Structure 1
Amino acid sequence: ARTDARDRRRKPLARLFLGEREDARWLRPAFWALLALTAVVYLWDLSVSGYANSFYAAAVQAGTKSWEAFFFGSLDSSNFITVDKPPASLWVMVLSARLLGFSSFSLLLPQALMAVGSVALVWGTVRRTLARVGTTTANVGALLAGFVVAATPAAALMFRFDNPDALLVFLMTAGAYCTVRALPKGSWKWIALAGVALGFAFLTKMLQGLLVLPAFGLVYLFAARTSWGRRVVGLLIAAGSLVVSAGWWVVAVWLWPAESRPYIGGSTNNTVLDLVFGYNGLGRIFGGSGNGGGGSGMTGGTAGSSFGGSTGLNRLFSSEMGLEISWLLPAALIALIVGLVVVGRRHLADPARAGLVLWGGWLLVTGLVFSYMSGTIHPYYTVALAPAIAGLVGTGGALLWHARERFVGRLGLAAMIGITAFWGWCLLNENPTWLPWLRWVMLAGGLLSAALVVIGSVPSLRKLVTVGVLAGTLFGLSGTTAYALATTTVAHSGSIPSVGPAGSSSGGMGGGGTGGMPGGAGGPGGSTSGYESSGSTS
Structure 2
Amino acid sequence: MTAATVGHAENIEVPGPERKTRRRHRYALAAILVAGGALYASVLFTGNWGNTYYTAAIKSMSSSFTNFLFGSFDPAGVVTVDKPPLALWPQVVSVWIFGYHNWSVLLPQVIEGIAAIFLLHRTVRMWAGENAALIAALVLAVTPITVVTNRTNNTDTMLVLTLVAAAYAFTRAMKTVEPRSRTKWLWFAAFLIGCGFLAKMLAAWIVVPAFVAAYLAGSKANWRRKLFDVAGAAVVLLASSLWWVAVVDLWPGEKPYIGGSSDGTALDLVLGYNGLGRVFGGGGPGGGVRTMGTPPPGGGDGGDGGMVAGGPGGAAAFGGESGPGRMFGEAVGGQISWLLPLALIALVVAAVLGFRRFRRFAPADTAGRAGWVLWGGWLVVNALVFSLQEGIFHPYYTTVMAPAIGALIGAGAVWAVRMYREPKRIGWLVLPASIAVTAAWAWVLTSRDTAWHGWLRWAVLGVAVAAILVLVLRKAQRVAIVLGLVAVLLAPGVWSGVGAFASAGNAGIPMAGPAASQGGDGFVLRLPPGVTTPPANMVPPQGPMGGRPNGTLNADQRKILDYAKAHSAGAEITMAVEGGAQAASPYIIATGETVVGIGGFSGRDPAPTMDQLSTWVREGKLRFILSGGRGGPGGGPRMMGESAERTEWIQQHCESVLTAGNQQLYECTA
Bigger proportion of residues as helix = 1
| 1:293 to 1:367, Cα distance in 2 relative to 1, 3 A | farther
1:274 alignment counterpart: 268
2:418 alignment counterpart: 402
1:473 alignment counterpart: 485
Alignment of 1:350-389 (within 5 A): 350-389=366-405
Moved more, 462-471 or 102-111: 462-471
| Correspondent of 2:328 among 313, 317, 326 | 317
1:299 alignment counterpart: 308
Look up the SS of the partner of 1:320 in the other structure: coil
TM-score normalized with structure 2 length: 0.72
| 1:73 to 1:356, Cα distance in 2 relative to 1, 3 A | same
| 1:160 to 1:49, Cα distance in 2 relative to 1, 3 A | farther
State the 1:353 CA deviation. 2.6
Asked if 2 retains the 8 angstrom alpha-carbon contact of 1:293 and 1:375, the reply is no
Look up the SS of the partner of 1:52 in the other structure: coil
| Correspondent of 2:598 among 509, 524, 529 | 529
Distance in structure 2 (CA, Å) of the matches to 1:316 and 1:227:
39
State the 1:199 CA deviation. 0.3
Distance in structure 2 (CA, Å) of the matches to 1:223 and 1:533:
46
TM-score normalized with structure 1 length: 0.88
Asked if 1 retains the 8 angstrom alpha-carbon contact of 2:32 and 2:141, the reply is no
| Correspondent of 2:29 among 28, 31, 50 | 31
Distance in structure 1 (CA, Å) of the matches to 2:520 and 2:348:
36
Q: Which amino acid counterpart does residue 545 of structure 2 have in structure 1?
A: G
**Count of aligned pairs between the two proteins:** 516
2:453 alignment counterpart: 435
| Correspondent of 2:339 among 328, 335, 340 | 328
Asked if 2 retains the 8 angstrom alpha-carbon contact of 1:9 and 1:21, the reply is no
Q: Which amino acid counterpart does residue 315 of structure 1 have in structure 2?
A: R
Instruction: Confirm whether residue 512 of structure 1 aligns to residue 523 of structure 2.
Output: no
| 1:297 to 1:142, Cα distance in 2 relative to 1, 3 A | farther
Asked if 1 retains the 8 angstrom alpha-carbon contact of 2:219 and 2:366, the reply is no
2:648 alignment counterpart: none
Look up the SS of the partner of 1:299 in the other structure: strand
Distance in structure 2 (CA, Å) of the matches to 1:125 and 1:200:
18
State the 1:361 CA deviation. 0.3
Distance in structure 2 (CA, Å) of the matches to 1:293 and 1:9:
63
Structure 2 unaligned segments of length 5 or more: list them: 295-304, 525-537, 558-582, 606-670
Distance in structure 2 (CA, Å) of the matches to 1:115 and 1:261:
32
1:411 alignment counterpart: 429
| 1:181 to 1:6, Cα distance in 2 relative to 1, 3 A | closer
Look up the SS of the partner of 1:402 in the other structure: helix
Moved more, 505-514 or 428-437: 505-514
Moved more, 350-359 or 71-80: 350-359
Asked if 1 retains the 8 angstrom alpha-carbon contact of 2:342 and 2:409, the reply is yes
Distance in structure 2 (CA, Å) of the matches to 1:408 and 1:276:
50
- Name the structure, 1 or 2, with higher relative contact order (CA <8 Å, separation 6+): 1
Asked if 2 retains the 8 angstrom alpha-carbon contact of 1:283 and 1:289, the reply is yes
Asked if 1 retains the 8 angstrom alpha-carbon contact of 2:257 and 2:264, the reply is yes
| 1:179 to 1:478, Cα distance in 2 relative to 1, 3 A | same
Distance in structure 2 (CA, Å) of the matches to 1:533 and 1:146:
38
Moved more, 48-57 or 426-435: 426-435
| Correspondent of 1:207 among 202, 207, 220 | 202
1:496 alignment counterpart: 509
Deviations 1:361-412 (A, max 9, x none): 0010000000010001011111111111111111111122223326453232
Structure 1 unaligned segments of length 5 or more: list them: 131-137, 456-460
Identity %: 37
Distance in structure 2 (CA, Å) of the matches to 1:285 and 1:218:
22
State the 1:316 CA deviation. 0.9
1:134 alignment counterpart: none
Alignment of 1:96-111 (within 5 A): 96-111=94-109
Q: Which amino acid counterpart does residue 9 of structure 1 have in structure 2?
A: A
Instruction: Confirm whether residue 63 of structure 1 aligns to residue 81 of structure 2.
Output: no
State the 1:437 CA deviation. 2.5
Asked if 2 retains the 8 angstrom alpha-carbon contact of 1:287 and 1:294, the reply is no
Q: Which amino acid counterpart does residue 350 of structure 2 have in structure 1?
A: G
Instruction: Confirm whether residue 54 of structure 1 aligns to residue 72 of structure 2.
Output: no
Could you say what the CA RMSD is over the residues aligned between the two structures, in angstroms? 3.0
| Correspondent of 1:426 among 440, 444, 452 | 444
Q: Which amino acid counterpart does residue 212 of structure 2 have in structure 1?
A: G
2:228 alignment counterpart: 233
| 1:348 to 1:217, Cα distance in 2 relative to 1, 3 A | farther
Q: Which amino acid counterpart does residue 392 of structure 1 have in structure 2?
A: L
Moved more, 433-442 or 483-492: 433-442
Distance in structure 1 (CA, Å) of the matches to 2:210 and 2:398:
18
1:458 alignment counterpart: none
Look up the SS of the partner of 1:386 in the other structure: helix
Distance in structure 1 (CA, Å) of the matches to 2:383 and 2:47:
29
| Correspondent of 1:450 among 453, 468, 473 | 468
| Correspondent of 1:244 among 239, 244, 251 | 239
Distance in structure 2 (CA, Å) of the matches to 1:300 and 1:84:
18
Instruction: Confirm whether residue 483 of structure 1 aligns to residue 495 of structure 2.
Output: yes
State the 1:265 CA deviation. 0.4
2:10 alignment counterpart: 10
Q: Which amino acid counterpart does residue 78 of structure 2 have in structure 1?
A: F
2:116 alignment counterpart: 118
Moved more, 260-269 or 89-98: 89-98
